Amino acid sequence: MFHPTVFDNIKIAIENQIYDYDNLDGLLIVTDRSDLLDLAIMSREFMLSFQLIGNRNITSEIVLRSSVKELSDEILETPGSDPGCHLLLRFYMQISDASKECPVIASALNTIWGPDLQPVQSLSFIYGQEEDSYHNCIELQFKRQITEEQMEDIPELLKHVLQSAESLGNL
């Protein structure tokens, strides 16, 4: 019988809670979902994107990743290993004045997540079009692995994600 990995268990926990927020609570709408297995490097990646019902200007994305080493350590029960996966949060939004808005965005996210989780903002625009607006991709990369020991923290984590999206939508 198939034994789910840490990646599978965390993925399902996140997915179930987000779909409950969508279908049962009506707080958000899921806009995209991707569950990938990269056969070239034998890694897994799960992405779930959504927008809050009250503010469709911000798209939030939760990314969960697991490498071949993490998967093999778990499957082979490697002594001394602590199987887990990596978590990345992304927020997408349009901004018009990078020098003013980016520091405000960083400050808003630091208020929610604390100083240890520094947002990385990547700005882009389409060449040839007026540059009065930038696409801002804001990433929050967790420095440590997420393991099954943090399963009970997932509801609180997702509340912080929703709070972040709401805060960014109110800027």
Integer Cα distance of 141 and 94 in angstroms: 21
Query: Encoding tokens for residue 45?
Result: 């990646």
Q: What is the pLDDT of residue 80?
A: 82
> Residue 55: how many CA atoms within 13 Å on its side-chain side?
18
- Only one residue has tokens 């499957």, namely 75
**Each residue of 134-167: pLDDT tens digit?**
999 999 999 989 998 998 999 999 999 999 999 9
Q: What is the pLDDT of residue 2?
A: 58
Radius of gyration, alpha carbons of the chain: 17
Sequence-distant (≥ 6) Cβ neighbours of residue 49 within 8 angstroms:
30, 31, 32, 33, 59, 60, 61, 62
Torsion of CA 144, 145, 146, 149, to 10 degrees: -90
- Only one residue has tokens 């268990």, namely 9
Three-state DSSP state, 76: coil
In the chain, where are the structural domains located? 6-169
**Each residue of 96-128: pLDDT tens digit?**
999 999 999 999 999 999 998 999 999 998 887
